[in-house]
Structure 1
């Protein structure tokens, strides 16, 4: 990967269809999230198509799925397949893995295999969709394995478009994605690099506090158009958080073009923009 030639690095993109035509969510959840995000017609691009989108824009993208098999009953896409596919597009794609936290020791073994044999640089968790409390010590062996591998733990935080608008939100509980649960994890695993995904609404103040207090915690800005960011987040983007924020779109439900167009309208100093769009991610991902 020629990092110097990249205009930006998107640290939050979803693979939602595999090479066999299987999808990451069941039909009802897929439709609900598309409605929530007002996503376009091309909702489930292939991994090769994702690579093409970012290559055309001189960007790189972190790609992943979410393994929530135990909580949803829906078979997960293969993180191994995603990692192998990303290797074929290594000029623009950076693979993260995903494991079901409810698989216990099997999940720990898979973390080690994905990091050691497949070269994934991090692991994506969605506490609400996976129905687990991140600070439950039953899941600490997972974090130990990720920390030992030198990988990153990326956690969904705050509101989710998955299940939005459905009766009972399809049973998906938002409280599992309160970022304060990650403060425990960050304190207990000081060498584990953690990304809190999204602006963490309605807990944005908590997320700001954690990111400024814990040296090992970062925030990505995916899932929301920047014009809707809470004002305190925009204010700290140019101050306490300028080295802690990461560009993320939530592609394919939000395209990088749409996100960047909105980002251009934020009142930020010129020197802060490249930090968020690329430089912070280069440092965190160890790309140089």
Structure 2
């Protein structure tokens, strides 16, 4: 991919995020009806974090779908969802986080609220929390802890994920009195989690993506080997460090263009004065120091 295309993609990322969010939440009239779309497309997973219970959702969230399968009494492994996630990871890595995730867009919009911003560079250890959540709440608990019918709970969706409250519980309860009457302590707990991340998103850049999201953790495992990557031309690099300063995911772009925390947002590409950084899709390798932080 040439540098001009990379610049264009980076420039219009916000528009791509909006379009992707609309495509994964196509049935907007359902917000008024208070109904959830249950058509055939709901059997297909979307690549980003987008709650199944959202009235407008046109597809299934891969994390929720995975938990539903592994926690069922009939299946203990989901070949379709696992294969889908691996394919997306190998092709794009965390590009999904930067371009196609509705909750990522929501956090970025909150971060645009004018107030003092706080760097997360001193909180890097928290990035490992999302891998623990992926292993424990998405995989281990739904498989190992079952009820009398042999079924497990979707622990991440039920107890942690604020997206379900934002996209599902709140809009449905506004138009449906029976749902509103049924809300209880669990809703209050998850609403508190949502409020916490709304506040954190105003102060920090994408805190949920950095510290909590299991989907981002899964895609991060493929970042260094994915076909879509960022490449640095060291001959053009003038060591100005503008790319490093522009990265809000705390990645040293000069040393590690495809670090696990990189969401391929392209801010480094936009900030480079010599066009030394570009997107690439294929087998071409970039900086030989790519595995270092």
Q: TM-score, normalised by structure 1?
A: 0.30
Mark the structure with the bigger radius of gyration: 2
Q: TM-score, normalised by structure 2?
A: 0.30
Higher helix share: 2
Higher RCO, 1 vs 2 (CA within 8 Å, ≥6 residues apart): 2
